[in-house]
Amino acid sequence: MGKLVELSEDVRAKLEATGTVVDLDSDYKLGQPEIRVVPDRDRAADLGIPIEDLATAINVLVGGARVGKYSSGGRRLDVRARLLADQRARPEDITRLHVRSASGKLIPSRRS
């Protein structure tokens, strides 16, 4: 993982040095825990949930997504939507998420 961080910082520094890139940021946080989600693709297909939709839902709810911008005092701030910290702090929190199927029904992400 050290090499990834080193390369990422190198690319960031080079881009900033060009002066053509502003507000450069990375969502990678050193030491941040990570969890791997392995979906049941057959069940998702049976329920009419594209894997991309499942991935997007988990990413938005846990990692957040920019839903707007806000300007204040000459600074531009991103407005992000995501679950509250106590709703996304543990790996088992993901199992309580629901995803909307193609029919519009909310389906639990984990089989009961």
43-60 tens-digit pLDDT: 899 988 999 988 888 888
For domain 39-112, the question of CATH label 3.30.2090.10 is answered with yes
The closest of 72, 38, 57 to 107, measured between CA atoms, is 57
What average pLDDT does the segment 19-31 reach? 74
Residue ranges matching CATH 3.30.2090.10 in the chain: 39-112
The percent of residues in the chain predicted with pLDDT above 70, rounded, is: 91
Q: Which long-range contacts (CB under 8 A, 24 or more apart) does 53-57 make?
A: 53/99, 53/100, 54/99, 54/109, 57/97, 57/99, 57/100, 57/109
- The answer to whether residue 69 scores a pLDDT higher than 60 is yes
- The answer to whether residue 112 scores a pLDDT higher than 60 is no
Lowest mean pLDDT, pick from 6-10, 44-48, 65-69: 6-10
